[in-house]
Amino acid sequence: MAREGGTQRARAPGLAALRSALPPATEAIVAEYERHLGGERGLSPHTLRAYLGDAVSLLARFHGVDSAASAGDDATGPDQERVPDDADLTGLDIGEIRGWLSAQHAAGISRATLSRRTASVRTFTAWAHRAGHLDTDPGVRVLAPRPHRTLPAVLSAEQAGTMMCASGIAAAERDPVALRDNAILETLYATGIRVAELCGLGLDDIDFSVRLLRVLGKGGSERMVPFGEPAAKALRSWLDHGRPRLAADRGAAGAAHQGVRRVAGDAVFLGVRGGRIDQRAVRRIVHDAVDAVPGAADMGPHGLRHSAATHLLNGGADLRSVQELLGHATLATTQLYTHVTVERLKAIHDRTHPRA
């Protein structure tokens, strides 16, 4: 709510405002860091913005320009001490970092976000030390708060089967959109790939002879992911009977209206206007499909990823294999899915341990 009782709540300054308030010497360091993140590490635009925003937020507080950026030019006055243009990272220590984190905690930032921002700032200080902007790395002494990890909502195997059955019945009518939606659901559940990875699939990324998908994951990493016969049938039906019709119908409509995209080259999945499908459309498809399943928790594509991982582990897959299939950088991320295997582990223990 912008106004209440005749007053206006001050909004937190954005990244651009904070960055422009930094001393030129510090801003030059930020620009160097930005080039490092974008070029050398190959981060996605979203991750790059998060890393850069955390560094700028810390430096704005360190130089005392965060309040000025929040209030605008009116905050500067004769009594306000001006930060020298050549001010750099000299004096940035563990106390400054802890003060920044403490201020965010007082503002109500969640433990999970604080943990992420701690890791982000540690990345910045480590780089600044290597680049010669800091004599020592103060970030190594900062401990991240342990986030409260909530267990992901998953479908049971029976619920997943119910959803796929309903989707397959709709696809049997050979409506191109129903064929596409069924192929999307089968592919997401069969492979556990991320929604961005699904949207980025090209026709050459599918090898039906060995039932493998070539997936481009986070950080540009590539991996091969297997899929089963139901997904193969759904994909073939979509590609043979649905995609050509949707591309032709929407392509003809697009030719008559400027601004409407034509079919997006080799994209596997198309939107209703003939272009490569976007993530919002896929999320809507999944939400609608899950909503029709009795007793199922509301979830999007990531919920199907959680479900796929959980069902693999329940079926006897080892953590390392699931980690590779999902494209997790660390095994700790994959271990989150083991919460639903407790009953299975108990059964194994009871059956195999001599003192069970």
Given 49, 116, 218, 344, the catalytic residue: 218
174 is catalytic: no
Given 283, 287, 302, 344, the catalytic residue: 302
247-265 burial by CB neighbour count: b if 16+ within 10 A, else e? Answer: beebbeebeeeeeeeebbe
- Helix (H), strand (E) at residue 252: helix 243-256
Show the DSSP H helices in 12-156 as ranges: 15-21, 24-35, 45-63, 66-71, 94-106, 111-130
Given 19, 133, 276, 305, the catalytic residue: 305
Token pair 């560094």 is at which residue? Answer: 55
355 is catalytic: no
Given 194, 243, 273, 306, the catalytic residue: 194
Give the strands of the sheet with 222-226, arranged side by side: 206-207, 212-216, 222-226
344 is catalytic: no
Asked whether the beta carbons of 127 and 36 are under 8 A apart, the reply is: yes
Helix H, strand E, coil C: the string for 261-317 is CCCCCCECCECCCCCECCHHHHHHHHHHHHHCCCCCCCCCHHHHHHHHHHHHHHCCC
233 is catalytic: no
346 is catalytic: no
Q: How far apart are alpha carbons 160 and 305 in whole angstroms?
A: 12
Residues 6+ apart with CB under 8 A from 25: 85, 86, 87, 88
194 is catalytic: yes
Asked whether the beta carbons of 247 and 258 are under 8 A apart, the reply is: no
Q: How far apart are alpha carbons 332 and 171 in whole angstroms?
A: 38
Inter-axis angle of helices 301-314 and 279-291, nearest 10:
60
Catalytic residue positions, numbered = 194, 218, 302, 305, 328, 337
